[in-house]
Amino acid sequence: MAVGEIKLKRLLDILYAPLYIAADIVEIIKEKDKTTPTWLKLLAPVLAVGGLGIFAALSFVQAFVMTAWFGNPLPVLGFDQSPEQPIHFPHTIHAGVGPLIDEDTGEPYISPSGDMRINDDGTPMQGLGMDCTYCHKQVIERAWSGVPPVELCISCHKVIGDSDNMQLTKLRQKGLYEETKSPINWERVHRMPDHVRFNHAPHIWYLTENPNAIQNKPVDFETLPDGTVNASKVCSTCHGNVAGMEQVAQVQPLKMGQCVACHRANEASVGCETCHH
């Protein structure tokens, strides 16, 4: 038995210890029913109910730990993979291509505020198909993809968008007026452990040159005449179909095993120093 399995077995034994004790007490009561005091008989159903409650709580803890260990944790206790942002930024409209139809429902996308992405005549809105690197300019050259400053958003939305749109009003207050100008404090969605050093640039370079290694290809995926792809076509490998997200969520677990498997499949280094330096 591997060391990890032994440790997991010990952890489960500790977690289930109260349930084992409750079961033993119930068995003792059954064997000595005739001589058992009344108060102890009344205590039996209490222990049974309490044992079930403990079992349910421990099962929840176990499910949370297991899902967090092998994938994304359950979206409870603040472990939400799609945090609400201070300003709604619909990637569907900006990066989406063609009619904004949700593939899962077959209906137009619905914004976080509950509005359907439809035109005045009832037809679905069309995505603008903006390139990811228009906003995330640093991703090709640096470790961090970069978050655009509010001035970039305002360069378009000072004239584009309704004046009574609540979300655009928030944006314009952040970027247009001197008395209210300030950065947008976006909530981080994807985060690697502090001891992991992930550099976007080399991954982008490799995948643009090797399109066959790209996973979760977007609907508008296409190769260039020289056999390469644009940088914006590789993001889905780790981030999923962001162009189809009204509110960005982490859809890949981004665990060490996933990274190592990808490195091995593409004959990249799997030495500890590659990511832990």
pLDDT digits (tens, 9 = 90+) for 105-124: 888 888 877 888 888 888 89
Considering only 2-6, 65-69, 72-76, which range has the smallest mean pLDDT? 2-6
Kindly write down the DSSP assignment for every residue of 166-197, as one continuous string: HHHHHHHHHHT-GGG-----PPP-----TT--
Find out whether 29 and 44 touch, Cβ atoms under 8 Å: yes
How far, in Å, CA of 66 to CA of 78, rounded? 17
Is residue 1 over pLDDT 60?
A: no
Name the percent of the chain lying above pLDDT 90: 36
The DSSP code sequence of 229-259 is --GGGSTHHHH--GGG-SS----S---HHHH
SS3 of 53-73: the string is HHHHHHHHHHHHHHHHHHCCC
In this prediction, residue 33 carries a pLDDT of: 60
For the cut 80, the answer to whether the pLDDT of residue 11 exceeds it is: no
Extract the tokens encoding 5.
């399995």
Residue 42 has what pLDDT?
67
What residues have CB less than 8 Å from 121, skipping those under 6 apart?
A: none
Higher pLDDT, 103 or 246: 246
Which range has the top average pLDDT, 35-39, 87-91, 120-124?
87-91
pLDDT, averaged across the chain = 84
